[in-house]
């Protein structure tokens, strides 16, 4: 069941009978759900339950086979580019430039976004995610955990209205997990809508107000 919506408010996400099929397999099956803007949602389910498919669909990386998905009042198919400008996705693929340093990766993004003082903005985010001192090394030498930290820094640089986080705690050491929890909490407190997919249920329940549990692409009681 979706949380109550304030009268007249535009949901952060609205799913109406959404299904997604890969060949003969339905990754999502007739999923309907609405989430108020500014609410944090914990997305749970076993591997293959449809969590990643749903996040990719909301990020407009894929389109639904049937049904309609809207993000911040925008149609994920018909208004794809507008959606992309307002959504940040932290996924299993980092989308980082391997031959550039962490600082260069963030500086390039800052300039593309028109953010002034790009190097200063990059330095602040690298400190926030615990990568101070790793600013000039090409990221092809980074560990998986360091890449995850840099990927969340890229998301923060974008300042999305909707943050989609797919297993953000994966590959992080205990200090990294603590930093990620803090960042997710700060995003939620700032008014950003957060959708968090994780197998770490205890952390997720602490960070999120709502929960959506998927089994075989369907919403069920956890």
Sketch the domain layout of the chain as residue ranges: 12-217
Mean pLDDT of the chain, nearest integer? 92
DSSP assignment of the chain, as one string? -PPP--TTPPEEEEEEEEEEEETTEEEEEEEEEEEETT-EEEEE--TTSSHHHHHHHHTTSS--SEEEEEETTEETTTTHHHHHHHEEEE-SS----TTSBHHHHHHHHHHHTT-SSHHHHHHHHHHHTT-TT-SSSBGGG--HHHHHHHHHHHHHHH--SEEEEESTTTT--HHHHHHHHHHHHHHHHTT-EEEEE-S-HHHHHHH-SEEEEEETTEEE--
Per-residue pLDDT of 188-222, as tens digits, reads 999 999 999 999 999 999 999 999 999 999 999 88
Per-residue pLDDT of 42-64, as tens digits, reads 999 999 999 999 999 999 999 99
Write down the pLDDT at residue 1: 46
pLDDT above 80 (res 89): yes
The pTM of this model reads 0.92
| Homologous superfamily of the 12-217 domain (CATH) | P-loop containing nucleotide triphosphate hydrolases (3.40.50.300)
């Amino acid at each position: 069941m979706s949380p109550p919506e304030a009268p007249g408010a535009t949901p952060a996400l609205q799913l109406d009978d959404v299904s997604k099929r890969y060949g003969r397999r339905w990754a999502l099956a007739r999923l309907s759900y609405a989430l108020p803007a500014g609410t944090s949602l914990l997305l749970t389910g076993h591997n293959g339950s449809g969590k990643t498919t749903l996040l990719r669909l909301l990020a407009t990386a894929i389109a639904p086979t049937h049904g309609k998905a809207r993000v911040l009042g925008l149609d994920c198919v018909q208004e794809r580019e507008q959606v992309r400008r307002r959504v940040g996705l932290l996924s299993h693929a980092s989308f980082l430039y391997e031959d550039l340093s962490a600082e260069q990766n963030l500086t390039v993004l800052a300039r593309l976004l028109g953010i002034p003082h790009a190097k200063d903005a990059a330095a602040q985010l690298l400190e926030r995610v615990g990568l101070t001192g790793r600013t000039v090394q090409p990221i092809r030498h980074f560990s998986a955990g360091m890449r995850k930290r840099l990927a969340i820094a890229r998301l923060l640089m974008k300042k999305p209205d909707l943050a989609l986080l797919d297993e953000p705690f994966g590959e992080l050491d205990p200090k990294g997990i603590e930093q990620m929890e803090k960042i997710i909490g700060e995003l939620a407190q700032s008014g950003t809508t957060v959708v968090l997919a994780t197998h770490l249920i205890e952390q997720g329940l602490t960070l999120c107000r709502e929960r959506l549990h998927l089994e075989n692409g369907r919403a069920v009681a956890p």
